[in-house]
A and B are shown apart, each in its own frame.
Chain A
Amino acid sequence: MADHDLTQELCKNLDRHLAFPLLEFLSNKELYSETDIQKAKIDLLQKTNMVDYAAEIYTALYKTDDIPEEMNSRRKEVVSKLKTLQAQAESIVSFLSSEDKVKQLKQDKAYNLAFLQEEFQIGPQQIDALYNFAKFQFECGNYSGAAEFLYHYRTLATNSERVLSALWGKLAAEILMQQWETALDDLTKLKEIIDANTFAPILQQLQQRVWLMHWALFVFFEHENGRNAIIDLFFQDRYLNALQTTSQHLLRYLAAAVVVNKRRRNAMKDLIRVIEQEAYEYTDPITQFLECLFVRYDFEGAQMKLRECEEVLENDYFLAALKDEFVENARLFIFETYCRIHQCIDLRMLAGKLNMDAEAAEKWIVNLIRHARLNAKIDSQAGTVVMGMQFPSAYEQVMEKAKGLSQRTFVLANLVFTSARKAQLPATDFPVCDIKDQ
């Protein structure tokens, strides 16, 4: 069942620390052998400063108390480095820890710098030290501290590249602390910076966008408004480009978000187009489901794929919570589409298609009808659903076509009139005037 697992793909574009929750999740799902996951974790931790944790996992994994030499030496190294960094950042950290002093800072960055320099002898060096210290804290797993320091760093620092990195760091920290609200703010800020920086090498822009999309998954599937935000973000041209160029697997999340989002039905068309285009690069049950349903109108195929989808969703870190909602909505999609092209449907068959028994299906449909979501009637004697199809009569069609014509003409004439008066142009130049009579 690990066929459609995307962890590997995703981790390429995530921070080491961000990969942790994914691994944790995987170990719960038992898709892979436990030892493999533990090994992967150690690998991850090796490059971070969370040496103690690494050692812990190591002992658990190999059932020994001996911790390899390199881990020990690494630990010493980390501790000593922590101390030096702490010493360097001492002054500024102490300054930041007193609220009164922080309050003296103002909006003006230049003023702040001068102020710090004068009052507390905190210069650019100390500020840089703050950044390094924050990074180190983050590496050690002290996310809250890191986030706070980085926040302050951002208000003080002038180096734009560093500021960007700090923002990335802060976002990661917020995500790991599950502060979705602030994380979303950071995400927006980050996106603005990336979008504004059009002079960066194209590859770098692409890379950053891809990262942003991956990191955003954490936020979007947790934050209450995230499902709209993910559609908004991913469908932006540049991001869609990035997605199609390098990380087609993100289509799964986009598709899931579109399916569960009732208010964004119109995004479906775009989504289908993208899925069709990328079919040769990436498919999984979720995209296949949509393809069956909206491209080939193969309802049975869609059914089958939906069943596969359930499993995939269950094993996906981001989508697991969405599973039921997805299935429900997907069913609705099938039903709606089915109804649109049928005028008479056998109830039992429908129940089979919807994966319900006849009675539940009938109830379900009655509910739909009651909520005015479906224009249909049930013929209970024949056991069929009869669609109340309405076809626009010729009269309506003509009306539809002529609708708004007069209003548009009016606007037009007004515009001509005003502009003519303004520019003192003879208004008779325009054939438009005749239309007023219509």
Chain B
Amino acid sequence: MTSRFWQRSDSEDDDEEAATSEEESDDDSSSSDDEGQQAKKGPSRFMIGSSDSDSDDDKRVVRSAKDRRFDELKATCEEMRNKLNINDWSSVQSLFDKLNKQMEKAQKATETLGAPRVYIKMLVELDDRLFATLANKELTKKMSPTNAKALNTMRQRLRKHNPFFAEQMEKFRAAPESEEEESEDEESSSSSSSDSDDEGEGEEGEDGFEKMKSAKEKKKDKLLTMDPKEITFEMVSKKLQEIVLSRGKKGIDRQDQVDMLTYLATVAKGPYQKVEVLVHVVSALFDINPSMSTHMAPPLWRRCIGVLFEVLELLEAHPHIILDEHHEGNDEITEEPEAGVETRVWGNMVAFLERLDDEHFKSLQVIDPHTNQYLDRLKDEPLFLALAQKVSDHFTRIGDTKGLARAALRRTEHFYYKTDAVYDAMRKLAVAQQEAANAVQEEAENGDEIPEEDDVVVSKDTVVVTVPPDFTLGESCQELMDQLSVIIYKHGDERTKARAMLCSIFFKAIRDEFYIARDMMLMSHLQDNVQHMDISTQILYNRTMAQLGLCAFRAGLIPDALAALSELCGSGRVKELLAQGMSISRYQDKTPEQEKLEKRRQMPFHMHINLELLESTHLICAMLQEVPVLAATGMQTHRKPLSKTFRRLLDNYDKQTFTGPPENVRDHVMASTQALMRGDWRKAYDYLAGLTSWNLIPAKEDVLAMLKAKLQQEGLRTYLLTYGAFYHSLSQDQLCDMFDMSEKEVHSVVSKMMMDEMLSGSWDQPTRTIVMHATNPTRLQALAEGFAERAAGLVDLNERALTLRTGGLRGEEDDAGPRGGYQDGQYSGNRGGGRGGRGRGMGRPMIGGFDLGGGGGRGGRGGRGGMGGRRGGYNNSGFSVFGGGDARFQGGDRFRQKSQSQQYDRMTQLGRMADRRQ
């Protein structure tokens, strides 16, 4: 039925006109009808097509076929024109498709390339009509969503399509009346000319905006074509609302949205609206980058910073505008609020800042660190810092302490890893950037062509945002850090405080202030709490521990260094723990998600701690500690080695049948160890000095000198322990010669060994010799001694077994102390409760726990039981100590911690991380 109706209408123009007038009224009344018609039309068009392809038609002559195509074209054009009149863009869209298809066919049929005049005429009409519609804002607003969408699609289509026919269209426009149907043509051409006039006006008015857009993506929104003076507050807010609502929907060109919003910002009425629009520009910019795993493009990033600068400026100039995260849109506001009236705008400055920081971080993670791109990205840092500072200022002004603390933390995290040299470099860069910006501005002023008020120059794709001139970085990074830390300790939450604390410790550690750093670490009780924190904080913690260890080593505090590093380096997962590269685990594969997560945690290259340096430091510390012990007790002892890693390496090294010259760090240290065990400190030193990683230490000479002195000392000790038993007496002078030490030093070292009963000998002062009293026990004696020892062990075990069964026995005994004389170090170690229990006791249960993986912290706790009780009030000091924001953290039980370098053991949080990774 319908098809016939339409077919008929094809032939009878008059009828159709009548029909369209009816339809017009229908259309206006409701859009649902519209769709109904569309549905009706679908099949009808299909029928047309099918009737065209009838075999009957094919029999006709070519000439007539051509005519037929032509007729079809004409008919479609007519239909389209009708739809245009009623503004039914969705139909127009489908008709346009159809038209193009027919056009193609026609071309094939006629074997010509040129487009028929009907077609061109249609295009011109369509074009004009489109602009007219877009310009008519009210009309667009009334449109149903489908219709509006179709309108947009059409616009884009035409934009792509028309250039092919541009020439012909021009021609047509120039001489529209070269064909029949003059009357109709006249009408349309007159309307089209008027339309184009309108458009011309609009474009003239928009000159400023046109610059911002590439010619290709000319946007013909009605707003754009209007004179900015005519745009009202309401219009802008409506448009804004519209864009905000479409946010996140599919098929929306995000770039377009940003452009639109940017334009809106320029025409916004009053600061309130401008802030509102700009805030949305920022979120739209963030939206451009769709996925969490990829980073925001640097130009966008910079642009975002620029917009935020603008927002901040506005906020500063108009203190009555307040950003509020929980604020829902201001529907009721239809006028720009007056100054002085408190107005809230949705937006969260800290969140923006943090997001920007994250994006910067992400981009650094991804970019290859050996390219210029990386350097360029690094140069953006001052920009961010400037923004962060402004944001901080803003928060100080409005008294938002929470945000202030968060912003301060972000800034801290940009400073903490910078040595003074790096900081200076950055400061100079910032100054240079400012100067460059000034120069550009001056030029601009001299040329007085561009009246630029903002720092932001938007031109095509490249965005130039410069560091604002009022941004200065303080002379001393130290002061800056102190200020920021104080802010955070005052206002931050637990996590922020912990992070700031770690940053400060890191900062102190790279400045060789070991004691301060260590005291801060211990007094903050971070090592107790860190396992409950998020992974990124744990990584920061591990990094801090690594720096602390390096710092201790530079200061020559070998035991401290080893304590700080052993767990970190001994794990074999240094890379993962420091987030400096993906670890390859032999036994278990990671799921892609885990891998992704791990990737996201990676530190950017410029923040890396050199792993080779770390490894050599760790091994050397272990060597210096272990070698004399090995010499004193021999390899086969039941005592817990100070460094398991070192022992293992040494065993492996010994097992080798042939050892080549050292190649890597381990080889060097092992070769050095072998030399040192023979007492040959010179060779040992040469091996170690051959390591390349020393070049990374600024005070290389000092460290090497320190190392030399340590090697001499330990060499002497090792020598005496190993070979002392073979001498009756040793001359002091000879020892001085051998180890290149002064008399005093030798005397001091040897005396100490005598006092500690490591060396059974004594000085003979008049002859300046060491007389050894070593008596090698006979076999029987040795066996008897061993037997006595075992018997004692047995009794010991029995007592413990009984304690387990009955409970409390041991405790009573300890309190009563009936066996006062029995407290040798090893024994008391297991008691935990006794005073001596502090010594070894701490280490042992800790390690046991560590082997279980996640239980690392727990095990340690068990060992500390006795201590915790005695600590009393100080035990729960925790963070409350920081409350005062005082630089000096009074009140922790520093002594307790300090006395226990083994406390460090619990510091690196390996087991926990392993758990979290799952």
Mark out the residues of chain A between 371 and 401 whose CB falls within 8 Å of any chain B CB in the assembled complex.
Answer: 382, 384, 387, 389, 391, 393-395, 397-398, 401
Q: How far is the CB of A78 from chain B (nearest CB, A)?
A: 35
Contact A202–B762 (Cβ < 8 Å):
no
Determine the chain A residues whose CB is within 8 A of the CB of B895 once the complex forms: 237, 240-241, 243-245, 274, 277
Q: Which stretch in A38-46, A212-220, A427-435 binds the other chain? A: A427-435
Closest A residue to B888 by CB, please name it.
Answer: A246
Let me know if B899 is at the binding interface, CB within 8 A.
yes
Contact B773–A241 (Cβ < 8 Å):
no
Contact A342–B798 (Cβ < 8 Å):
no
CB-defined interface of A337-364 with B at 8 Å, one 1/0 digit per residue?
A: 1001111111001000000000000000
Let me know if A298 is at the binding interface, CB within 8 A.
yes
A200 to B891 alpha-carbon distance, docked (Å): 12
Chain A interface size range: 35 or more
Contact B766–A346 (Cβ < 8 Å):
yes
Contact B899–A408 (Cβ < 8 Å):
no
Contact B762–A389 (Cβ < 8 Å):
yes
A237 to B806 alpha-carbon distance, docked (Å): 31
A438 to B795 alpha-carbon distance, docked (Å): 11
Closest B residue to A203 by CB, please name it.
Answer: B891
Determine the chain B residues whose CB is within 8 A of the CB of A432 once the complex forms: 798, 801-802
Let me know if B36 is at the binding interface, CB within 8 A.
no
Let me know if B340 is at the binding interface, CB within 8 A.
no
Let me know if B211 is at the binding interface, CB within 8 A.
no
Contact A341–B751 (Cβ < 8 Å):
yes
Let me know if A198 is at the binding interface, CB within 8 A.
yes
Let me know if A415 is at the binding interface, CB within 8 A.
yes
Let me know if A176 is at the binding interface, CB within 8 A.
no
Contact B891–A341 (Cβ < 8 Å):
no
Determine the chain A residues whose CB is within 8 A of the CB of B686 once the complex forms: none
Contact A245–B766 (Cβ < 8 Å):
no
Let me know if A297 is at the binding interface, CB within 8 A.
yes
Q: Which stretch in B293-301, B322-330, B605-613, B876-884 binds the other chain? A: B876-884
Contact A387–B792 (Cβ < 8 Å):
no
Let me know if B734 is at the binding interface, CB within 8 A.
no
With A394-B781, A408-B819, A412-B799 in contact, do A245 and B762 touch (Cβ < 8 Å)?
no
Determine the chain A residues whose CB is within 8 A of the CB of B892 once the complex forms: 245
Q: Which stretch in B492-500, B625-633, B782-790 binds the other chain? A: B782-790
Determine the chain B residues whose CB is within 8 A of the CB of A296 once the complex forms: 748, 752
A404 to B792 alpha-carbon distance, docked (Å): 9
Closest B residue to A435 by CB, please name it.
Answer: B798
A431 to B801 alpha-carbon distance, docked (Å): 9
Determine the chain A residues whose CB is within 8 A of the CB of B788 once the complex forms: 398, 401-402, 405
Which single member of A342, A349, A394 contacts B784 (CB below 8 Å)? A394
Contact B762–A343 (Cβ < 8 Å):
yes
Mark out the residues of chain B between 738 and 755 whose CB falls within 8 Å of any chain A CB in the assembled complex.
Answer: 744, 747-748, 751-752, 754-755
Contact A198–B784 (Cβ < 8 Å):
no
Q: How far is the CB of A205 from chain B (nearest CB, A)?
A: 6
Contact A202–B891 (Cβ < 8 Å):
yes
Main secondary structure of the interface of B (DSSP, over half): helix
Q: How far is the CB of A251 from chain B (nearest CB, A)?
A: 12
Contact A344–B764 (Cβ < 8 Å):
yes
With A238-B874, A297-B747 in contact, do A346 and B802 touch (Cβ < 8 Å)?
no
With A297-B752, A298-B744, A341-B755 in contact, do A241 and B763 touch (Cβ < 8 Å)?
no
Which single member of A300, A345, A408 contacts B795 (CB below 8 Å)? A408
Contact B792–A402 (Cβ < 8 Å):
yes
Let me know if B777 is at the binding interface, CB within 8 A.
yes
Contact B801–A202 (Cβ < 8 Å):
no
Which single member of A206, A298, A398, A401 contacts B891 (CB below 8 Å)? A206
Contact B765–A297 (Cβ < 8 Å):
no
Closest B residue to A341 by CB, please name it.
Answer: B754
Mark out the residues of chain A between 406 and 428 whose CB falls within 8 Å of any chain B CB in the assembled complex.
Answer: 408-409, 411-412, 415-416, 419
Closest A residue to B870 by CB, please name it.
Answer: A237
A412 to B789 alpha-carbon distance, docked (Å): 18
Let me know if B440 is at the binding interface, CB within 8 A.
no
Q: How far is the CB of B746 from chain A (nearest CB, A)?
A: 11
Determine the chain A residues whose CB is within 8 A of the CB of B801 once the complex forms: 430-432
Let me know if B821 is at the binding interface, CB within 8 A.
yes
A233 to B201 alpha-carbon distance, docked (Å): 93
Closest B residue to A195 by CB, please name it.
Answer: B872
Contact A205–B802 (Cβ < 8 Å):
no
Chain B residues with a Cβ closer than 8 Å to the other chain, count: 60
Let me know if B893 is at the binding interface, CB within 8 A.
yes
Closest B residue to A292 by CB, please name it.
Answer: B748
A384 to B747 alpha-carbon distance, docked (Å): 20
Q: How far is the CB of B855 from chain A (nearest CB, A)?
A: 28
Mark out the residues of chain A between 228 and 283 whose CB falls within 8 Å of any chain B CB in the assembled complex.
Answer: 237-238, 240-241, 243-246, 273-274, 277, 280-281
Which single member of A202, A205, A241, A419 contacts B806 (CB below 8 Å)? A419
Contact B777–A297 (Cβ < 8 Å):
no
Mark out the residues of chain A between 102 and 151 whose CB falls within 8 Å of any chain B CB in the assembled complex.
Answer: none
Contact B748–A298 (Cβ < 8 Å):
yes
A429 to B802 alpha-carbon distance, docked (Å): 10
Let me know if B727 is at the binding interface, CB within 8 A.
no
A100 to B819 alpha-carbon distance, docked (Å): 56
Determine the chain B residues whose CB is within 8 A of the CB of A382 once the complex forms: 766
Q: How far is the CB of A171 from chain B (nearest CB, A)?
A: 22
Let me know if B894 is at the binding interface, CB within 8 A.
yes
CB-defined interface of B710-749 with A at 8 Å, one 1/0 digit per residue?
A: 0000000000000000000000000000000000100110
Contact B795–A412 (Cβ < 8 Å):
yes
Contact B791–A402 (Cβ < 8 Å):
yes
Contact B893–A241 (Cβ < 8 Å):
yes
Let me know if B100 is at the binding interface, CB within 8 A.
no
Let me know if B822 is at the binding interface, CB within 8 A.
yes
Determine the chain B residues whose CB is within 8 A of the CB of A416 once the complex forms: 802
With A238-B873, A297-B748, A344-B766 in contact, do A246 and B795 touch (Cβ < 8 Å)?
no
Determine the chain A residues whose CB is within 8 A of the CB of B784 once the complex forms: 394, 398
Determine the chain A residues whose CB is within 8 A of the CB of B819 once the complex forms: 404, 408
Q: How far is the CB of A154 from chain B (nearest CB, A)?
A: 24
CB-defined interface of B660-686 with A at 8 Å, one 1/0 digit per residue?
A: 000000000000000000000000000
Which single member of B747, B873, B898 contacts A205 (CB below 8 Å)? B873
Contact B777–A394 (Cβ < 8 Å):
yes
Which single member of A245, A346, A401 contacts B792 (CB below 8 Å)? A401
Mark out the residues of chain B between 793 and 823 whose CB falls within 8 Å of any chain A CB in the assembled complex.
Answer: 794-795, 798-799, 801-802, 805-806, 809, 818-819, 821-822
Contact B785–A401 (Cβ < 8 Å):
yes
Determine the chain A residues whose CB is within 8 A of the CB of B792 once the complex forms: 401-402, 405
Q: How far is the CB of B786 from chain A (nearest CB, A)?
A: 9
Determine the chain B residues whose CB is within 8 A of the CB of A401 once the complex forms: 785, 788-789, 792
Q: How far is the CB of B767 from chain A (nearest CB, A)?
A: 8
Mark out the residues of chain A between 16 and 58 whose CB falls within 8 Å of any chain B CB in the assembled complex.
Answer: none
A68 to B185 alpha-carbon distance, docked (Å): 110
Closest A residue to B784 by CB, please name it.
Answer: A398
A394 to B894 alpha-carbon distance, docked (Å): 43
Determine the chain B residues whose CB is within 8 A of the CB of A198 once the complex forms: 872-873
Q: Choose among B805, B874, B895, B899 the residue with the greatest number of A CB atoms under 10 Å from its CB.
A: B895
Q: A243-B895, A344-B766 are in contact. List 17 more A-B contacts (CB 8 A).
A: A202-B881, A203-B891, A237-B871, A280-B515, A281-B515, A296-B752, A343-B764, A349-B765, A384-B766, A394-B778, A401-B788, A404-B819, A430-B798, A430-B805, A431-B798, A432-B801, A435-B798
B residues at A contact (CB < 8 Å) = 515, 744, 747-748, 751-752, 754-755, 760, 762-767, 771, 773, 775, 777-778, 781-782, 784-785, 787-789, 791-792, 794-795, 798-799, 801-802, 805-806, 809, 818-819, 821-822, 870-874, 877, 880-881, 884, 890-896, 898-899
8 shortest interchain CB distances as A-B pairs? A297-B751, A394-B781, A401-B788, A244-B895, A343-B762, A198-B873, A341-B754, A342-B763
A-B contact pairs, 18 of them (CB 8 A): A241-B895, A245-B891, A280-B515, A340-B754, A343-B762, A349-B765, A389-B773, A391-B760, A398-B784, A398-B785, A402-B792, A405-B795, A408-B795, A408-B819, A411-B818, A412-B798, A412-B802, A431-B798
